[in-house]
Amino acid sequence: MDESAWIAAHDKVRALLAKFLPGVPILARELRYSQLISGSPPYDKLSPNERKALADEAFQLILELKPVLFAAAIDKVAHKKEWRYNAIAPNIWALQLIAPRFHKYLVRIDARGIFVMDAEERRKDAKLKELIQSARQQGIVLTSTWNPLLTNTNLPRLIETVICVNSDESPGIQLADFAGHAVWRHFERNQSDRFNQIRPLFDRHMGVEYGLKIWQP
């Protein structure tokens, strides 16, 4: 997402929250898709129809902003069964799968990029930041003699490491939460309406979808 789209996201998310949560203090307003679906605070005062209307407008905003999406869907049960005690934690493995794809996208468009994540998630697992730091020296791709076509990268197009921000201060993080949860509901719950809405936004080049990696050992 370029700078102009980021500014638009900031303004439109603030307007959206003010529209649907006028009685909620500004600092308590935040887009959280799982809480919206369940009707948890701060959405507990909204009717089901109002919650759906908010979700409709949030996903429409994502479509209007046209971000290029990247995500990894990991079969956790098969992953654990295959690798047992040597299995890489799913969130670490997901970043390891996404980072080189994001980097290739940056090379393709001749740009620089950055990983920004919710500070709440950063407190849960410091290894995400360590992964990017180690990639600077060792590379990010797990190369193998079984697949000689894999190419390693030290991610030179990525600025810094993983940057953590509070989600309530970042409309971009909040919209990413909506997109990420839509992907999760598609694979975990077979509820695909929202996923199908955003599917065209995943990185695609010459007819090949690179933005969505489905991992099964």
* Spans of all domains in the chain: 1-217
Strands (E), 58-171: 71-74, 113-118, 158-165
Amino acid 217: pLDDT: 76
How many CB atoms neighbour CB 45 within 10 A?
Answer: 12
Amino acid 149: pLDDT: 45
d(Cα 103, Cα 143) in Å, to the nearest integer? 16
For residue 24, the number of C-alpha atoms closer than 13 Å in the C-beta half-sphere is 19
Amino acid 51: pLDDT: 97
- Strand pairing class (212-215; 71-74): parallel
Residue 177: pLDDT over 50: yes
Residue 211: pLDDT over 80: yes
155: left (phi over 0), alpha (psi -120 to 50) or beta: left
| pLDDT, tens digit (0-9, with 9 covering 90-100), for 130-165 | 766 776 666 666 454 444 445 567 788 888 777 778
In the block, which residue shows the tokens 């695609």?
A: 204
Q: Name which residue leads in pLDDT, 141 or 41.
A: 41
Token output for 165: 């921000």
d(Cα 198, Cα 67) in Å, to the nearest integer? 10
For the purposes of burial, counting CB atoms within 10 Å of the CB of 40, is it exposed (0-12), middle (13-18) or buried (19 or more)? exposed
Nearest alpha carbon to residue 175 among 54, 12, 31, 29: 31
Amino acid 147: pLDDT: 47
Average pLDDT over residues 189-194: 96
| pLDDT, tens digit (0-9, with 9 covering 90-100), for 79-116 | 888 888 888 888 888 888 888 899 999 999 999 998 88
| pLDDT, tens digit (0-9, with 9 covering 90-100), for 106-119 | 999 999 998 888 77
